[in-house]
Structure 1
Amino acid sequence: MKLPEQHVSRKVEEALLYRLKQKALEECKERAQAYADCCSGRVFSAVWSCREEFKDLNVCLSQHTTPQVLNELKRRWMEAGQPETPKWDALLKNL
Structure 2
Amino acid sequence: MEAVNAEEIQLRHVEKDVLIPKMMREKAKERCVEKVQAFGNCCKDSGFFMVFKCREENSALKECLTQHYRDPVFFEECKQEYIQEKMQFEKTGIPMKNRKQKLPTSM
Q: TM-score, normalization: structure 1? A: 0.65
**Candidates 53, 56, 67, aligned match of 1:52:** 56
**Count of matched residue positions in the alignment of Structure 1 and Structure 2:** 81
Larger radius of gyration, structure 1 or 2? 2
- Give ranges in structure 2 of 5+ residues lacking alignment: 1-6, 91-95, 97-107
Identity of aligned residues (%): 28
Residues 1-95 of structure 1: pairs in structure 2 closer than 5 A: 8-13=11-16, 14-66=18-70, 68=72, 69-70=74-75, 72-73=76-77, 76=80, 83=87, 85=89
- Give ranges in structure 1 of 5+ residues lacking alignment: 89-95
List structure 1 segments (4+ residues) > 4 angstroms apart after TM superposition. 77-80
CA RMSD of aligned residues (A): 3.0
3-state SS in 2 of match to 1:44: helix
Q: TM-score, normalization: structure 2? A: 0.58
1:12 is aligned with what amino acid? E
Deviation at 1:62, TM superposition (A): 0.5
Distance 2:78 2:30 in 1: 20
